[in-house]
Amino acid sequence: MAVDTKELAKAGKKEKERELGLGGLIILGLIIWALVPRPPKYECPYCDATFKTKAETITHILDVHFGEPPELIECPLCDATFKTIAEFITHFKEVHLKE
Ligand SMILES: [Zn+2]
Ligand SMILES: [Zn+2]
């Protein structure tokens, strides 16, 4: 009887994603994504996909890796909340990534 180790690994990964929660995962991914120097291309923090624009990257992340975005996005570094990921990214870059 053969055990499919690939399937087991996949199931384990899914379990971990559930623990973190949708909002937590999105924010974690976006922070990694915002911190990684990426020109001339944008990289998905969850897979090997690359994109030409930020909008394409966000669309891909939401379409492929998540069902729907959380209703309210909380900045993990301050008390600010945002209705859209674009607003959160702008805030994160301007407030927390400025030197
Ligand atoms: Zn991806
Ligand atoms: Zn903040």
Which numbered ligand comes closest to the C-alpha of 96? 2
**What is the chain's mean pLDDT, rounded?**
74
Q: What spacing in Å lies between the alpha carbon of 57 and ligand 2's midpoint?
A: 21
In words, the CATH class of domain 42-96 is: alpha beta
Which pair of structure tokens corresponds to residue 15? Answer: 């379990």
Determine the Cα–Cα distance for residues 50 and 52; give it in Å rounded to an integer.
7
Ligand 1 centre to CA of 72 (Å) is 22
Q: Ligand 2 center to residue 10 CA distance, Å? A: 33
Q: What is the mean pLDDT of residues 10-38?
A: 64
pLDDT score recorded for residue 59: 79
When pLDDT is cut at 50, 70 and 90, the band that residue 13 belongs to is low
Say how many Å lie between the CA of residue 57 and the centre of ligand 1.
Answer: 8
44-87 per-position pLDDT tens digit: 888 889 988 877 887 788 778 776 656 787 787 888 988 877 88
For 11-72, the DSSP string reads: HHHHHHHHHH-HHHHHHHHHHHHHHS--TT-EE-SSSS-EESSHHHHHHHIIIII-SS--SS
User: Could you tell me which residues come within 8 angstroms of residue 30 by beta carbon, excluding any fewer than 6 positions away?
Assistant: 45, 85, 88, 89, 92
64 within 8 A of 47, measured Cβ to Cβ: yes
